[in-house]
Structure 1
Amino acid sequence: MKQRGFTLIEMILTIVVLAIIFLGIAGFVEFGAKGYNQTVDRQRLQNQARFAIEKMSREVQHAVPNSFDLSSNNKCLAFYPIDYAGFYQYREPAGDVEFVVGNNQPETFADGSHLVINPSRIQDLQNDGQSIDIAGESKEPDGDYFSIQMNLTSQSSANRHYIYQDKAVVYCIEQLIASSNNGRVVRYYGVLDDIEDLSSLSGTVVATGVAFNESRFNYEQTSLQRGGLIHLSLLFQNGDEQSQYKHDVKVANVP
């Protein structure tokens, strides 16, 4: 019986056909892998953006009213977080301020604690006049309240006071490399002398992949109809992928 195998041409054709099939499968797998990686990168970018916006919004909402300051290029936003808040009574002409604190009232106040009444600008928290150092102040022995001497130049219409530390929170959009559009959002915390020079403060990176040129902060002062308003405009980018976030945050507290 005569037996025949594959001819050379048949083997070559088989190899060519199999190679084409494998190349098609490999291309399909590669395309799927790239799509998956792009989806993961896009999700990571969105999650990072949402985290940064949410973190800044929460802190801004509970800041001391009118304690905001912007850098000259609108890339840095500074403010003072509230430690405690409550009501006060001002006794003239002696200048006695008797005040109570809301929930979790302390027995005394830690170093760096300040009280401010009716602030109209950030300088009111950094200079004497509307604010005063209350570190070490303790409750009055005859009641559950505190009493200090203070010469107020103006008073709160709702008799509200705010207690804060002498350290400010500063969010900055920083350029990673000069002449590059690649930036990041950094949170600084410390004693603020000049918002244009933060070299003495320690910072923590909150978000990366921020388009430096297109991202900025804006602030609208308190009006008769509303409290202060912060505009967050951040553009996140990852290669050709871009996500624009324009978010307004209303300061919850009023003087």
Structure 2
Amino acid sequence: MKQRGFTLIEMILTIVVVAIIFLGIAGFVEFGAKGYTQTIDRQRLQNQARFAIEKMSREVQHAVPNSFALSDNNKCLTFYPIEYAGFYKYREPTGDVEFVVGNDQPTAFSGGSRLVINPSRIEDLQNNGQSVEIPDGKIPESGGDYFSITMNLTSQSSGNRHYIYQDKAVIYCIEKLTTTVNSARMVRYYGAFDDSNLIGVVVASGVAFNESSFSYQQTSLQRGGLIHFNFLFHNGDEQSQYKHDVQVSNVP
């Protein structure tokens, strides 16, 4: 009786064909997995960029007007965030400033709060320029819902506006990483303006150092201050360019 089976050559050919089929399937799966990974990386990069720009935009919009300064070849942006804002009345010749605070008026001020009127540059918020420190525990005047403080005003606000802020600045810096060429990260610092030991929080990574910077245009008669963001985010060959303008909502 004649037995049927596979010859060695037939088995080898079968194995080769099956191997080729599996390699094709594996390559297709690998291509799909790479495409999915690249899509996730691209989405993560864009989400991170949008988060960083949105966070900075909101803080810049509600900063004390004319409290901005650039440093480190336009790689760092410094400003003072508003704690409270409202209106004031100046009493001459005593130099008393009676002021009210808008929403959420405090029952007493905490230490470190300063009041500024008509600032024209960041130096006006420092070194007792156009600002004065509010005493710790300051409460409203007796029988009224306003506060009173004495200060020497060299100029006044046309709208009788005042701004109260903590003696701490927000500093956003594009910091270059030494381990990667042209790669940097966006770091947010908060503290004393001249403190060199501040601890920062990383807001975004994958920033192209050479192509990213801040710029600032001072307040004019037609508009408030204008901050321009020019950032390039990259991850491998993937790049996202962002050019964004933010106008400061408040005016002196």
Q: So what's the TM-score if we normalise by structure 1?
A: 0.96
Which residue of structure 2 aligns with residue 200 of structure 1?
Answer: 197
TM-aligned CA deviation for residue 93 of structure 1: 1.3
TM-aligned CA deviation for residue 144 of structure 1: 0.3
| Partners of 2:70 and 2:78 within 8 A in 1 | yes
TM-aligned CA deviation for residue 178 of structure 1: 7.0
C-alpha distance in 1, partners of 2:215/2:234?
21
AA of the residue aligned to 2:21: I
1:136-147 matches, within 5 Å, as 136=136, 137-147=138-148
Which residue of structure 1 aligns with residue 67 of structure 2?
Answer: 67
**Which structure 1 segments of 5+ residues have no match?**
none
Runs of 4+ off more than 2 Å: none
Which residue of structure 2 aligns with residue 213 of structure 1?
Answer: 210
Q: Residues 136-184 of structure 1, C-alpha deviation per residue, up to 9 Å, x if partnerless? A: 2211002000011111000000000000000000000000107820100
| Partners of 1:129 and 1:153 within 8 A in 2 | no
Aligned partner of 1:238 among 232, 235, 238: 235
Q: Is residue 147 of structure 2 the alignment partner of residue 150 of structure 1?
A: no
AA of the residue aligned to 1:241: E
Q: Is residue 239 of structure 2 the alignment partner of residue 254 of structure 1?
A: no
| Partners of 2:85 and 2:101 within 8 A in 1 | yes
C-alpha distance in 1, partners of 2:17/2:181?
49
| Partners of 2:184 and 2:207 within 8 A in 1 | yes
C-alpha distance in 1, partners of 2:72/2:96?
39
| Partners of 1:129 and 1:151 within 8 A in 2 | no
AA of the residue aligned to 1:218: S
Q: Secondary structure at the match of 1:156?
A: coil
Which residue of structure 2 aligns with residue 96 of structure 1?
Answer: 96
| Partners of 1:79 and 1:168 within 8 A in 2 | yes
Which residue of structure 1 aligns with residue 178 of structure 2?
Answer: 177
Which residue of structure 1 aligns with residue 46 of structure 2?
Answer: 46
C-alpha distance in 1, partners of 2:228/2:77?
10
Q: Secondary structure at the match of 2:89?
A: strand
Superposed CA RMSD in Å reads 1.1
| Partners of 1:129 and 1:152 within 8 A in 2 | no
C-alpha distance in 1, partners of 2:179/2:118?
41
AA of the residue aligned to 1:19: A
C-alpha distance in 1, partners of 2:51/2:209?
18
| Partners of 2:68 and 2:77 within 8 A in 1 | yes
**Which structure 2 segments of 5+ residues have no match?**
none
AA of the residue aligned to 2:96: D
Q: Secondary structure at the match of 2:155?
A: coil
Report % sequence identity: 79
Q: Residues 74-115 of structure 1, C-alpha deviation per residue, up to 9 Å, x if partnerless? A: 000000000000000011111110000001101111110000
| Partners of 1:76 and 1:172 within 8 A in 2 | yes
Q: Is residue 13 of structure 2 the alignment partner of residue 16 of structure 1?
A: no
1:98-117 matches, within 5 Å, as 98-117=98-117
| Partners of 1:183 and 1:212 within 8 A in 2 | yes
Q: So what's the TM-score if we normalise by structure 2?
A: 0.97
C-alpha distance in 2, partners of 1:206/1:6?
65
TM-aligned CA deviation for residue 72 of structure 1: 4.0
